[in-house]
């Protein structure tokens, strides 16, 4: 069974050092001078102000380059969706950059095709290796070899809601049971306001933000872990999973989402919340950065809650995990390989964790000092208090097979549109699960 990790959101009080990872002094050897590293990622400068994780990684990259002036880093940057398309196309013809990001659900394909260099030799020399939380490398590990570094530990299926709007219909807080959620939705619809904003044009938000959490309410985490391991014990055709699909479909049928949810993108769906055209969003930890970019009134009125258990009991789990891994091209050798490894370890190491926690209160894969939380907004503090003792269960698209996720995400669009039945979609997903190489 995969290790379950505890979500502890920390913040660092001390300022981060610009020393290189792995004990590198920052002075490059003569043999490494003149090396050029091509790095492909999806953290754009345009999104830096609202993408806290992106800013943390860009800041670390800039610090590493300052410490290694003789190494030229050539960045190839594009949007999330463009990146997903391009990197997989390049992998298909084995024409990858030196350093790139791989989603957890793609790892099997990249490893099976021998595209990635294992990081163990270099990670074992890293002085802060012991500070990584248990389980953070699971999705990138095969037969004891670790094929990527991660600095992102995302939490999902968390409700961000406008307290003022909810009080206007008679609710002081977000409901702790599903009956009241549906009743509240009816009241919001009378005011012409859908409850939840969502932009699912690119297919993944419905599953990654919401359905992974809904699914866990019905199946439990052991079912999910069985699916990830593909041990045959759990199937997508199990009644619990079918019931989860039916639950999600009912949310759409009862108009809990904006009507155009399948034709607008993720950013547009979230923007509905900033414009107070919806009363809440079900989103992930990085959504806090979006809230911070809105006006002070929206930030002040935003509260955080969990989706309730089916029986109304207190929620003990939160969906999450390490979604993206920084990887090195298997073709690299010698000093170029060494510097590429140094780069990805620094980018996802202790200094990055300190910076991300101190500046943004972000969840990271490392244990760092939490004494610097006083400077965070009340929303971040509330998020910390709500999630810090919860057990993390996998977000589907971070660890399940890529073909399975593609069928699931496309099928969820049809399910929510009412053009596909839960039983039909469950069977289609199971076909892909059965086709996974044992």
Q: What is the distance between the alpha carbons of residues 395 and 221, in angstroms, rounded to a whole number?
A: 10
Asked if pLDDT for residue 31 goes beyond 70, the answer is no
* Bridge pairing between strands 324-328 and 99-103: antiparallel
Asked if pLDDT for residue 159 goes beyond 80, the answer is yes
Mean pLDDT value across residues 273-286: 95
Mean pLDDT value across residues 332-345: 98
Residue 387, both tokens: 């999630």
> Which is nearest to 368 in space by CA: 321, 360, 393, 215?
360
pLDDT confidence of 8, banded at 50, 70, 90? very low
Q: What is the pLDDT of residue 392?
A: 86
Interval 91-135: pLDDT, tens: 999 999 999 999 988 998 999 999 999 999 999 999 999 999 888
Asked if pLDDT for residue 29 goes beyond 60, the answer is no
Interval 363-395: pLDDT, tens: 788 887 766 666 788 898 898 889 877 888 999
Asked if pLDDT for residue 18 goes beyond 60, the answer is no
Portion of the chain with pLDDT greater than 90, in percent: 72
Asked if pLDDT for residue 326 goes beyond 90, the answer is yes
Tokens 């199946």 correspond to 219
- Give the range among 10-19, 62-71, 361-370, 412-421 with minimum mean pLDDT: 10-19
pLDDT confidence of 45, banded at 50, 70, 90? very high
Helix, strand counts (H, E) of the chain: 19, 14
Cβ neighbour number for residue 38 with a 10 Å cutoff: 16
Interval 342-358: pLDDT, tens: 999 999 999 999 888 88
Please state the φ and ψ torsions of residue 25, each to the nearest 5 degrees. Answer: -75, -10
Asked if pLDDT for residue 52 goes beyond 70, the answer is yes
Asked if pLDDT for residue 9 goes beyond 90, the answer is no
Q: What is the distance between the alpha carbons of residues 420 and 410, in angstroms, rounded to a whole number?
A: 11
Mean pLDDT value across residues 145-154: 92
Interval 78-94: pLDDT, tens: 998 899 999 999 999 99
Q: What is the distance between the alpha carbons of residues 348 and 352, in angstroms, rounded to a whole number?
A: 6
Domains annotated for the chain, with CATH where assigned, are: 35-153+322-369 (3.40.190.10), 155-320+392-435 (3.40.190.10)
* Bridge pairing between strands 5-6 and 36-41: unpaired
Q: What is the distance between the alpha carbons of residues 46 and 280, in angstroms, rounded to a whole number?
A: 25
Q: What is the pLDDT of residue 376?
A: 80
3-state helix, strand, coil in the chain (%, to 5): 45, 15, 40
Cβ neighbour number for residue 388 with a 10 Å cutoff: 15
Q: What is the distance between the alpha carbons of residues 333 and 12, in angstroms, rounded to a whole number?
A: 36
Contact 324, 102 (CB under 8 A): yes
Q: Mean pLDDT, the chain, as a whole number?
A: 90
């Amino acid at each position: 069974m995969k290790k379950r990790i505890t979500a502890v959101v920390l913040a660092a009080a001390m300022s981060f050092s610009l020393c290189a990872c792995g004990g590198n002094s920052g002075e490059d050897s003569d043999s490494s001078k003149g090396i050029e590293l091509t790095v492909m990622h999806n953290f754009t400068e345009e999104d830096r102000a609202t993408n806290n994780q992106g800013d943390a990684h860009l800041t670390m990259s800039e610090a590493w380059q300052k410490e290694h002036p003789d190494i030229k880093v050539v960045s190839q940057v594009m949007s999330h969706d463009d990146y997903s398309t391009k990197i997989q196309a390049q992998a298909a013809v084995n024409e990858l950059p030196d350093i790139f990001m791989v989603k957890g659900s793609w790892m099997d394909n990249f490893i099976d095709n021998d595209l990635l260099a294992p990081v163990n030799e270099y990670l074992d020399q890293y002085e802060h290796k012991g500070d990584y939380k248990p389980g953070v490398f699971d999705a990138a590990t095969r037969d004891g070899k670790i094929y990527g570094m991660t600095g992102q530990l995302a939490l999902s299926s968390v409700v961000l809601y406008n307290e003022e709007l909810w009080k206007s219909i008679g609710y002081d807080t977000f409901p702790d049971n599903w009956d009241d959620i549906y009743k509240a939705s009816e009241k919001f619809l009378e005011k012409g306001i859908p409850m939840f904003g969502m932009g699912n044009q690119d297919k993944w938000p419905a599953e990654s933000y919401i359905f992974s959490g809904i699914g866990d309410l019905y199946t439990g985490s052991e079912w999910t872990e069985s699916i990830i391991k593909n041990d045959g014990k759990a199937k997508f055709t199990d009644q619990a999973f079918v019931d989860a699909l039916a639950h999600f479909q009912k949310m759409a049928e009862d108009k809990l989402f904006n009507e155009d949810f399948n034709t607008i993108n993720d950013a547009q769906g979230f923007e509905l919340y900033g414009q107070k055209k919806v009363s809440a969003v079900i989103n992930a930890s990085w959504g806090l950065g979006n809230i911070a970019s809105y006006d002070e009134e929206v930030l002040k009125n935003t509260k955080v809650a969990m989706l309730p258990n089916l029986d109304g009991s207190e929620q003990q789990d939160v969906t999450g995990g390490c979604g993206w891994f920084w990887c090195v091209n298997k073709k690299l050798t010698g000093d170029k390989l060494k510097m590429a490894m140094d780069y990805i370890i620094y980018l996802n190491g202790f200094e990055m964790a300190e910076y991300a926690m101190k500046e943004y209160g972000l969840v990271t894969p490392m244990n760092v000092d939490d004494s610097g939380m006083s400077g965070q907004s009340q929303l971040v503090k509330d998020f910390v208090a709500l999630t810090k003792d919860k057990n993390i269960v996998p977000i589907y698209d971070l660890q399940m097979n890529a073909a399975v996720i593609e069928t699931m995400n496309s099928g969820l669009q049809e399910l929510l549109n009412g053009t596909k039945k839960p039983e039909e979609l469950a069977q289609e997903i199971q076909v892909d699960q059965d086709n996974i190489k044992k």
